[in-house]
């Protein structure tokens, strides 16, 4: 096995020379703050994304370096470095160094197919372990030359700290654009840049210290009945743990996680997308109504508090365009719903829609305040806000990014490095996405705090209510 490497090494002396003000120039986003929380437990958990790119034709080393250099120059978040200094995490954006690109070139032409697969998996794990030391850039490209008769295979490993699902799609698109240009003998030319990651982080920090936010806190967030919010029931209360280092609660460990998946069939999903939605009814309205109603059947409480992961690029800042901005920009929306005494899913839908429309900045501001990117403490008046037990991650429609077959079928779950003893942040998470024409809801729980029967009943009730709502919305569209 032969390999060539341009591994980025942070110049420690240069780092020491940076002033404190310079290091703190780039605040964290709320999502990055969450990653820091993951790193602050007794068993730190690192989140990496992996994507394989089959090459239609072989690339030479110089061409691949040109593509990667173009991506790093275009997207500053790819050059983020994190440092732990004076008891706090900081992030800086390094300058592009053409002589130190995050690229490894490996020739596996002398190995049989199964040996190649084994080596690719082993190398990907080793590289993740290196990225997770946080001493280098938080991404790495690895090109595998598999022999004369096979196309090359490019592997991209990127830490969640510098990229989210939307950003990964932008990077994949930009890589293919640059690859196509290079293949045609052209200089890579990417779509125009949008607002920089740095500017977005700074604008959020500036906004949360503005008079407008103080007004939002007083007139909305502090008027909500936080004292009446109750934790969801745990089948096994003793399964809840306290992390000794971060002193935060965990709901079982990553190793104890189990999943229950339910799905709308293709026909019902098509009805949802083509007949049930309009300008006044969005898919999130239906999802949150179905989920909150299902929880009411379980807990008996009309109040439902949930954290919703938002992957879109909608922003309250009119002069900011994030459509092609790369970074961990996905934000969590805090949503507290009150279904009152309604027993009808249809009435509940109207209540949910009205309450969602009243939330300032769609609920993002509260997350900015509770997970401040400027390292300042949370405001005293917001300490009454409880932890959200339920987390919803809606990924939208997932479309395969490549029709090209891979030389082998990678087991991503096997390749991804994980920390099994890391504590779970929430008792329940729901991952929703439209995959192969079906809306799928995957409920993840810990067997240490919940029984499978409990979660299966919750998931089934949620799907039944969602179907009722779809039929109702589709029927009124006919009139």
How far apart CA 7 and CA 148 sit, in angstroms, is: 26
Alpha-carbon torsion, ordered 413, 418, 424, 429, to 10 deg: -20
Q: What is the pLDDT of residue 60?
A: 86
Dihedral-angle region of residue 247 (phi above 0 means left; psi in -120 to 50 means alpha; beta otherwise) = left
How far apart CA 349 and CA 357 sit, in angstroms, is: 12
Contacts of 364 (CB under 8 A, 6+ apart): 30, 310, 316, 331, 332, 333
Q: What is the pLDDT of residue 148?
A: 83
What end-to-end distance do the CA atoms of the chain give, in Å? 68
Same topology between domain 2-183 and domain 211-478:
yes
Contact of 253 with 44, CB cutoff 8 Å: no
0.85 exceeded by pTM: yes
Q: What is the pLDDT of residue 59?
A: 78
pLDDT along the chain (479 residues), means of 10: 52 41 71 92 92 81 94 97 89 90 93 92 94 93 89 92 94 94 92 96 95 96 96 96 88 96 96 93 97 97 96 92 96 96 94 97 96 92 95 85 63 83 95 95 98 98 98 85
Contact of 259 with 442, CB cutoff 8 Å: yes
CATH of 2-183 given 3.30.559.10, 3.40.50.300, 3.90.400.10, 3.40.50.150: 3.30.559.10
Q: How far is CA 443 from CA 34, 368, 409, in A?
A: 20, 26, 26
Q: What is the pLDDT of residue 57?
A: 73
Q: How far is CA 79 from CA 64, 195, 322, 323, 329, in A?
A: 18, 16, 18, 19, 15
Contacts of 220 (CB under 8 A, 6+ apart): 358, 359, 360
Q: With helix as H, strand as E and coil as C, how does 345-366 read?
A: HHHHHHHHHHHHHHCHHHHHHH
Tokens of 216: 């939002």
How far apart CA 91 and CA 134 sit, in angstroms, is: 11
Tokens of 280: 């006044």
Tokens of 462: 């949620």
Give the residue among 81, 113, 108 at the shortest CA–CA distance from 97: 81
Give the number of residues written for the chain.
479
What residue spans define the domains of the chain? 2-183, 211-478
Q: What is the pLDDT of residue 5?
A: 63
What kind and span of H or E run contains 207? helix 197-208
Contacts of 190 (CB under 8 A, 6+ apart): 70, 71, 74, 174, 177, 178
How far apart CA 367 and CA 355 sit, in angstroms, is: 18
Q: What is the pLDDT of residue 272?
A: 95
Q: What is the pLDDT of residue 25?
A: 67
Residue 424 CB neighbour total at 10 angstroms = 26
Q: What is the pLDDT of residue 308?
A: 97
CA-based max dimension of the chain:
71
Buried b (16+ CB within 10 A) or exposed e, 394-403: bbeeeeeeee
Contacts of 448 (CB under 8 A, 6+ apart): 236, 239, 251, 252, 253, 256
Q: What is the pLDDT of residue 103?
A: 94
Torsion over CA: 86, 88, 93, 98 (sign): positive
Q: What is the pLDDT of residue 304?
A: 98
How far apart CA 224 and CA 187 sit, in angstroms, is: 55
Residue whose tokens read 């946080």: 134
Q: What is the pLDDT of residue 6?
A: 53
Assigned architecture for domain 211-478: 2-Layer Sandwich (3.30)
Tell me the Cα Rg of the chain.
24
Contact of 384 with 370, CB cutoff 8 Å: no
Q: What is the pLDDT of residue 16?
A: 44
Residue whose tokens read 């005494």: 341
């Amino acid at each position: 096995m032969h390999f060539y490497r341009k591994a980025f090494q942070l110049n420690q002396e240069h780092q020491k020379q940076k002033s404190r003000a310079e290091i703190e120039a780039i605040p964290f986003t709320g999502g990055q703050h969450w990653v820091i929380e993951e790193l602050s437990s007794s068993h730190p958990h690192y989140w990496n994304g992996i994507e394989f790119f089959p090459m239609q034709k072989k690339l030479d080393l110089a061409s691949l370096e040109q593509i990667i250099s173009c991506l790093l120059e275009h997207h500053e978040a790819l050059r983020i470095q994190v440092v732990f200094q004076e008891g706090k995490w900081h992030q800086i954006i390094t300058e592009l160094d053409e002589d130190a690109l995050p690229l490894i070139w490996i020739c596996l032409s002398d190995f049989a197919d199964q040996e190649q697969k084994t080596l690719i998996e082993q190398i990907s794990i080793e590289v993740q372990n290196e990225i997770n030391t946080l001493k280098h850039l938080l991404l790495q490209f690895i090109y595998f030359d598999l022999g004369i008769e096979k196309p090359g295979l490019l592997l991209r490993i990127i830490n969640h700290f510098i990229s989210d699902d939307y950003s990964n799609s932008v990077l994949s698109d930009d890589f293919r654009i640059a690859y196509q240009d290079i293949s045609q003998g052209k200089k890579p030319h990417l779509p125009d840049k949008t607002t920089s990651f740095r500017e977005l982080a700074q604008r959020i920090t500036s906004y949360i210290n503005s008079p407008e936010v103080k007004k939002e806190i007083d007139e909305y967030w502090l008027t909500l009945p936080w004292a009446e919010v109750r934790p969801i029931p745990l089948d096994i209360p003793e399964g809840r743990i306290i992390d000794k280092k971060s002193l935060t609660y965990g709901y079982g460990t990553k190793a104890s996680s189990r999943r229950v998946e339910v799905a709308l069939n293709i026909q019902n999903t098509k009805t949802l997308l083509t007949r049930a939605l309009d300008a006044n009814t969005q898919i999130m309205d239906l999802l949150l109504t179905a989920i909150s109603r299902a929880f009411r059947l379980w807990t008996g409480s009309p109040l439902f508090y949930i954290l919703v992961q938002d992957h879109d690029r909608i922003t309250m800042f009119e002069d900011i365009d994030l459509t092609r901005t790369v970074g961990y920009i996905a934000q969590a929306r805090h949503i507290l719903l009150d279904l009152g005494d309604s027993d009808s899913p249809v009435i509940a839908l109207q209540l949910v829609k009205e309450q969602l429309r009243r939330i300032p900045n769609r609920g993002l501001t509260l997350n900015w305040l509770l997970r401040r990117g400027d390292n300042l403490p949370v405001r005293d008046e917001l300490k009454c806000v409880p932890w959200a037990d339920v987390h919803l991650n809606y990924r939208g429609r997932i479309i395969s990014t490549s029709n090209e077959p891979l030389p082998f079928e990678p087991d991503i779950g096997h390749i991804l490095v994980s920390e099994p003893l890391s504590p779970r942040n929430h008792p329940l998470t729901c991952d929703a996405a439209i995959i192969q024409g079906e809306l799928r809801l995957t409920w993840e729980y810990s067997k240490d705090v919940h029984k499978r029967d409990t979660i299966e009943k919750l998931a089934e009730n949620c799907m039944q209510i969602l179907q009722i709502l779809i039929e109702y919305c589709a029927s009124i569209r006919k009139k």
